[in-house]
Amino acid sequence: MERLRYMFVRYCINRAYMKLSFDGLSAEDVNYLDSVVSQLKDLEHTVYSHDDFASMLRGPFVQLYETLAERLPAVAREFFTDVLTNCLELDEVKMYGLVDVVKETLYRISSKL
C-alpha cells in the first residue's frame, strides 16, 4: 500500500501537473491551483488500505475537483482526468483491484462537466 500512496503523488498527480498549460492563467489562479494540488497530495496520508484509497477517490478527491472546477473548470477537468488516467496505468491499482473505483471516479468527474 505504501507504494500505491507514493505512486499516487509522484506519478499520478505530478505527471498530470507537468502536462498543464499555465497560459492565460493569472498568478492568483496558479496559486489557487497549487493550493488544491497541495491538498490533493496531502490525501496520501489518509490511505493505509485499498479501501482507504477507494474512499479517498470517492470523497475528498471529488470534493477537491469540485472546488477547483468552481473557479477553473477547464483546468480542473484536464488535471483531474489526467490524474485518474495516470492511476489506471499503475500496476498497484490493478493489483489491489482498484481499476473499477478509478473508472467510477473518472465517470463521476466527467458527468459533472
pLDDT of residue 113: 59
Q: Are 29 and 72 in contact (CB under 8 A)?
A: yes
Angle between helix axes 62-71 and 99-111 (nearest 10 degrees) is: 30
pLDDT of residue 112: 72
Walking along the chain (113 residues) 10 residues at a time, the average pLDDT comes out as 93 98 96 98 95 97 97 97 97 96 96 72
Please state, in angstroms and rounded to a whole number, the distance separating the CA atoms of residues 17 and 80.
9
Per-domain residue ranges of the chain: 2-111
98 — phi, psi (to 5°)?
-105, 5
Give this prediction's pTM: 0.95
